[in-house]
Chain A
């Protein structure tokens, strides 16, 4: 079974040309030479997976690209996708000492990508230990970054790992949910193909949502890792949101990434101001929408999107409607949507409508993007695993839950952070599982 099963779409590639093109070989070496090679480097400390940044950069400098990629993969098996999707402004590059040196920070992300692209171009696979006699078997539920990192680390150390994914392709949001100009689905799949070749087993189209299914898994595996992410997108809670022409941000992104949505036109309204809202708004623009509004109930100051994402959206031509929220959606005679909105203002801890401030926006697509809801179906079935505010309660350092056979990491624990946080959590859980297994079998 190969994991790479998405056809190449030249038109999609053209519409979503890369935001940050790769460095050429000479440019990479020049950039690598700029790195001061700090000791106990702050970039490494800031990275949730603690990639040895100066270590891999100096290997680029010396021409040891394979060693550079190996150094990255030792810390972060999804080094290739993280180099494209990480918000490095608030991580490694944000921590670079060059900021205090009146210089641009080292372009760590592009250098990491340079090393990883070279590695993947050669179809290399990290070394793994042969499966130990004890035959430790771990089932990883969910095929996103947390499970991938957990499974890969387990496999490296000689355990058997199986990823159980309900969708047709692995990778979770890495494959289905990241803006195509940052990370192409094909690139996510190429990276996962490497993990498959390390010996991780994949099962697709298998939903684990009943007590019986879970019982079966408990029988088959020694430990179970939960990397199930979050649930469906939150609903707006306004009348008419189930009409045709309403499609939430993640549905929109996965539809265009998998080739099921090729083109948009007219007016698109995105509701919300997080990073996913911005991804959806930009995507709508690139797919052909003439006008894209982003509707947010608070002000510019309050948006949760990273600054660079907000700047990017402005450059793409997205228009922002601040302090306004939807009231209802209707269909007009010609099939377009009519979105009723109202201005809101802060009052005593809550937002209240401003009188006489209603207006209606005629649009062709309405995209709710106000966050993902906690996952409910599966975790209700988990015995001994505590769930609080819709998040699985797990130890930060080990991922261990209230049930010693269950470990968890990623969005289902942290409520929704970055790919690199999921990778770090998955890896920590793998190491904790190995330790627990050692104690158990010793």
Chain B
């Protein structure tokens, strides 16, 4: 254990951006005004990307919709809000005020103007005069602004991205970050274009084109704007896996890699650590703050610090990118690595979700035959789930009304769950796919155990190379 507390500070990100911690607010409603950003800094945020500044727009109502999942609200979030609807001068005047009061925090100006060199030169100069530590070019907004030739209309065409980045760099004195849209086949193509244009860093990902759902009474998709809707940008916890993959793609390719501010479904220190393990130097948060407020940053900072202390990391640079070399192409995976599922009879609660998942969704190797005796082997040796269920439904059950009947009904035997309800894994058939351990509701009840001792590793690439070598 290091004596000193881990240092969460960010130094010289994308050249020369500093912030007391890597947690920035993304350019979005939580960074709409100077007053909001100052409250966020007071709450503990290390930086803020100002809600995109440009020629003021008009917005519609409603603007947001979400996807809930089994009682949890806002698993995914969608918006059709445009950039700042406040005059450029107002935003910049407030930025200057925040700059004065919070000299150590990172203030990034998100910018979006029409695609002319003059317009970009003008806004860059004004933002930097207002004290911005850096500029984020919004080439990612997927709705509304893209219809006017801005936002993702730029970010989806590498040539435009490169051209505008070049114009900005002609003028900019502070680091320039290009915010990438995920609504493209290969995000590396745009990252590469930004790099050619001279970008100092990247932010990824912006929101994903989405329709979150349709009201089954009115038949109007959400959000409903007077009976019509429009596709929006999707974000929140649901998009994190997509964002992580794109971050990995950018950072694993030396051609496209740049200092990266990670965005996409981050709400706790755990997700922040994941983005950093794939190479991000800072992370940006929006949806989680829109859901719970600025206060979530407290746990993000404490949690990351505690994890770093546990792992012996003193600075973010100590672990940044450490998982990148653990992601490889499929052909380099060890084909001889074998694991099988093991069920802990003391923990099993008898829900049998592993059994039905294995039969209907995997490889038919988890059975309900502990009482009738083990029968290892192929599927036709076993009773099907339907057969098992039919047996239960045909059995006659009665209410235990006397004390003795109730005592008998409560007897389970040696395990917490009656033995006949504890599924059994046929290890000769188990392919080690993980599905049962994923659906099991009980922590550490089903574990995947390695069973490949004494077999040398071999990848697909090695195996096929051998095949060609032997002339088959």
Binding site for B on A (CB under 8 A): 29-30, 33, 36-40, 42, 44-48, 50, 61, 86-87, 90-91, 94, 97-98, 100-101, 302, 304, 396-397, 414, 416-418, 420-421, 424, 428
Contact = CB atoms under 8 A, between A and B. Distances in A.
27 contacts: A33-B70, A36-B353, A36-B441, A38-B352, A39-B351, A40-B352, A40-B368, A40-B392, A45-B392, A45-B395, A46-B397, A48-B398, A48-B399, A90-B399, A94-B409, A97-B349, A100-B416, A101-B441, A304-B402, A396-B396, A397-B396, A417-B399, A417-B401, A418-B399, A421-B399, A424-B398, A428-B396
A98 B385 CA distance: 22
Contacts of A416: 401
B220 interface: no
Contacts of A48: 396-399
Interface string B359-398: 0000000001000000000000000010011001101111
| Candidate in B356, B399, B416, B441 with the most chain A CB atoms within 10 angstroms | B399
A24 to B, nearest CB: 14
A86 B70 CA distance: 28
Contact of A414 (B388, B398, B417): B398
Contact of B392 (A44, A86, A428): A44
Interface in B393-430: 393, 395-403, 406, 409, 416-417, 421
A417 B396 CA distance: 14
B292 to A, nearest CB: 19
Contact of B398 (A39, A97, A302, A417): A417
Interface string B60-99: 0000000000110000000000000000000000000000
Contact of B389 (A40, A47, A97): A40
Given A40-B388, A44-B392, A90 B352 contact: no
Nearest to B405: A90
Nearest to A26: B71
Interface of B: 70-71, 349-353, 355-356, 368, 385, 388-389, 392-393, 395-403, 406, 409, 416-417, 421, 441-442
A29 B71 contact: yes
| Candidate in B392, B402, B417 with the most chain A CB atoms within 10 angstroms | B392
B401 A47 contact: no
A37 B442 CA distance: 14
B351 A97 contact: yes
A90 B404 CA distance: 12
Contacts, number: 82
Contacts of B352: 38-40
A304 B406 CA distance: 10
B395 A100 contact: no
A420 B385 contact: no
Nearest to A63: B216
A38 B397 contact: no
B399 A39 contact: no
A422 B46 CA distance: 68
B23 to A, nearest CB: 32
A424 to B, nearest CB: 8
Given A36-B351, A36-B441, A40-B392, A47 B397 contact: yes
Nearest to A38: B351
A393 B401 CA distance: 19
| Candidate in A36, A39, A86, A397 with the most chain B CB atoms within 10 angstroms | A39
| Candidate in A42, A100, A396 with the most chain B CB atoms within 10 angstroms | A100
B349 A50 contact: no
Nearest to B356: A39
Contact of B421 (A42, A44, A47, A61): A42
A100 B388 contact: no
Contact of B71 (A30, A36, A37, A101): A30
A5 to B, nearest CB: 30
A322 B350 CA distance: 40
B417 A87 contact: no
A39 B355 contact: yes
| Candidate in A40, A97, A101, A420 with the most chain B CB atoms within 10 angstroms | A40
B112 to A, nearest CB: 40
Contacts of A418: 399, 401
Contacts of A61: 70
B382 to A, nearest CB: 14
A290 B353 CA distance: 53
A193 B335 CA distance: 66
B71 A33 contact: yes
Nearest to B385: A39
B403 A100 contact: no
Contacts of B355: 39
Given A90-B399, A90-B406, A100 B417 contact: yes
Given A97-B417, A304-B403, A417-B401, 14 more contacts: A33-B71, A36-B353, A38-B351, A39-B351, A39-B352, A39-B385, A42-B421, A87-B399, A90-B406, A396-B396, A416-B401, A417-B399, A421-B399, A424-B396
A90 B397 contact: no
Given A33-B71, A304-B401, A304-B402, A39 B353 contact: yes
A304 B395 CA distance: 26
Contacts of A420: 399
B9 to A, nearest CB: 42
Given A39-B355, A40-B389, A101 B399 contact: no
A100 B348 CA distance: 8
Q: Which 8 A-B pairs rank lowest in CB-CB distance, beginning with the nearest?
A: A39-B356, A39-B352, A100-B349, A33-B71, A38-B351, A97-B349, A418-B399, A33-B70
A98 B351 CA distance: 9
A91 B71 contact: no
Nearest to A75: B393
Contact of A90 (B71, B350, B400): B400
Contacts of A36: 351, 353, 441
Nearest to B350: A97
B441 A100 contact: no
B361 to A, nearest CB: 12
B351 A421 contact: no
Contacts of B417: 97, 100
Contacts of A97: 349-351, 417
| Candidate in A48, A98, A101, A428 with the most chain B CB atoms within 10 angstroms | A101
Nearest to A307: B406
A101 B406 CA distance: 21
A181 to B, nearest CB: 20
B202 to A, nearest CB: 39
Contact of B393 (A44, A46, A396): A44
A40 B385 contact: yes
A421 B355 CA distance: 30
A56 to B, nearest CB: 14
Contacts of B350: 38, 42, 97, 100
A203 B300 CA distance: 72
B393 A50 contact: yes
A38 B421 CA distance: 11
A61 B401 CA distance: 32
Nearest to B403: A304
Contacts of A397: 396
A48 to B, nearest CB: 5
Given A44-B392, A48-B397, A101 B402 contact: no
A98 B398 CA distance: 22
B213 to A, nearest CB: 13
Given A40-B352, A44-B393, A91 B421 contact: no
A50 B400 contact: no
Nearest to B388: A40
Contacts of B392: 40, 44-45, 50
Contacts of B396: 48, 396-397, 424, 428
A416 to B, nearest CB: 8
Contact of B397 (A50, A86, A87): A50
A29 B442 CA distance: 22
A43 to B, nearest CB: 11
A249 B393 CA distance: 36
A100 B445 CA distance: 12
Nearest to B415: A100
